[in-house]
Chain A
Amino acid sequence: MPVLLLAALVAPLPLLLGGYTLSLLIVIGLHALAALGLGVLMGQAGQVSLAQGAFYGLGAYGSTLLATHGGMPPWASVPLAIVAAAAVALLLGLPAVRLGGHHLALSTLGFGIIVFLVFNNETEWTGGPSGVIGIPPLALFGRTVATDRAYAYVVWSVLLAALLGVRVLLRSPTGRAFRAIAASEPAAAAMGIDVARKKLLAFVLAGALGAAGGGLYAHWLTFISPTAFGLEASIEFLVMAVLGGLGSLYGPLLGAATVTLLVEGLRSVVQVVIPGATGWVEVTVFGLILIGVLLLAPEGLAGGLARARRRVTARRREDTRNA
């Protein structure tokens, strides 16, 4: 499905929705950005990162610091924060991508924990555990993006632009190189692909997209705290990418929407069904979803949809043949 069609389908939504559902739409868009980055890294290049929550946080705190301490307007601080986060991804990736999958996975796990520790401890810069309030809202072309409706358009425009960019990337030789690497690194190397460099590129891209989501998040909520950027967040993004379907362009978006709605739904349902449940349901369900999808439906939701579509088309072809 072309990105333009998706844009056309989504465009009326901010006008139709309001209040709680509208803010859900914004959150889904933000999560989809982070999940998209992770989807490219995991689904296309076959590398696992447990630090996407940290990059989300780097975008959020980076842009916040530039705006509050540096006096920068958010439309400038967000892109700059993205660049900074990409640089961090580059520094982290350089040693880590040279090696096997699990080395990268555990390095990113440790990196994520370190970043969270920094957010939590450097109270002078980050406000420590209480976080930062009064973050300047986003202003474009001189006008503050004051309503959720307008912000939804901003977030989804960025998301659609990112989807378009990723789509172009995936169809390019670089995209093919990613898939070759995911299939077999030695074979890809034997074909002359610079495996380390391509993996690094995927890693930096994932970090940049995560930071983009985080930066936009900060200037929407105008309040951030470290708890939103820890391992739980990284795992959430992971589940979004896997559930949506690795290796599919819209998989991360599907996964982001499903997980976000699932989390919200669980929160309301669980309180009614099991009063006093402290959040273990969410955690356990996530783990089980991850295992279930990987073992039973490795292509995720996007794969399931594609298969359903193929079955419908095949049946239609058979009907015309039999008629």
Chain B
Amino acid sequence: MRYLFCFLSFLCFFLFADGERDRLVHGRVFIDLNEPSVRPLFLGIQLHAPEPEAKRYSKELLTVIADDLTYTGLFSIIDERLFLEPSHAFFKPENWRPLGADAVVKIKISLSQNTIKALSSIYDVNEGLQIFKKEYSGDINLLRTLAHVLARDIYKKFTDREPPFEAKLLYIGQLDGKKSLFIMDWDGARLRRLGIRAETIISPRWSEEDRLLAYTTREGLKWAIKVVDFNTMTQKTLFEQKSLTIAGDFIDRKNLLITYTDMDNQDIYILDTETSKIKRLIGAYGIEIDPVVSSDKKRLLFVSDRSGSPQVYMAELSGYNIKRLTYRGSYNTSPRWSPAGDSFVYVGTVNGKNQIFLQRFYSEPLQLTHEGNNEEPSFSPDGRFIAFSSDRDGLWKIYIMRLDGSGQKALTKGYGFSPIWIK
């Protein structure tokens, strides 16, 4: 009986005491914080190769991973000479906190025949926990690819975004007095050449979903638009003309936007890739060239001189609703969409030199380059990097920079022009 009374009293207590929680909510203290200190994530990367055969690959693997992550500007890799914990030892947060580390990546590699295996574990120092573990394996000849994949997963763990580490850059290069097409890793390594040569090559354009490359050549008096199918590595000439004709972006597999000259006037047309028939899309009294399509295939950017000078315009894919976008400067060309479709880059002339500008819609343009001439900008697939050509060194080379214009560096030693990204 007594027990029952007390039990009931407890129930009552808790029923009423629930009001206590309300009181806490009403009595909650608030703190508002703005402007964090600027600091990248401090990352410690350790490679453990217990077998001597695997050891000699450690340095390259580590360098590629560290360079990828550092170049994003989000990470700072801690110098391994500061490490307190040996690479084979278990993770202990107290070994890393004095270094200011936010996270630690421990990679164990082993080699068997021609296969390299890697076990990557990521630890959060502040939480003191392991947060990631994954095994990888691949042919030893693809060591750099493995490194980029390892770096990708580290990047994704902290940002939940895809980095461009595995992407390639295709560009126009020189070979024996003629032009050719080259492909390299996003960091400039593993340069290879495509078996294509022509007197002049311009305007390479890529369709990611169909893996088609369109480009334009001039041989003698003839201009030609060619398409390479990367699935079969075969090429087709789609269109030829004596007057200037340049490939623009793919709308889809069947339709390619082109610049076509009709009676000394350039306009934007759609080229049917199967029938080679053309149809005019945008044309006015002046010159319309350089059409580029947004990722969502709804809008296009192009250059027109209808206002009296070359400026960047936007239109719906139907060709209607034409709006002028650039108002600064008297010569603005080469527009390229960001993958998100919320901004674009273009080339504007400043003090007689060409510079690259970034413009978010309804905002002021931001000048990203200042040295030499800088042209043909191209956004990386994740939208955080821009590849471009620059002659600041006295020779046209391929360069890369971050979205805010920082980190500008050359990727090629020799001639390179018009880079585009290939995933």
Partners in one complex: no
Residues of A near any B CB (own CB < 8 A):
none
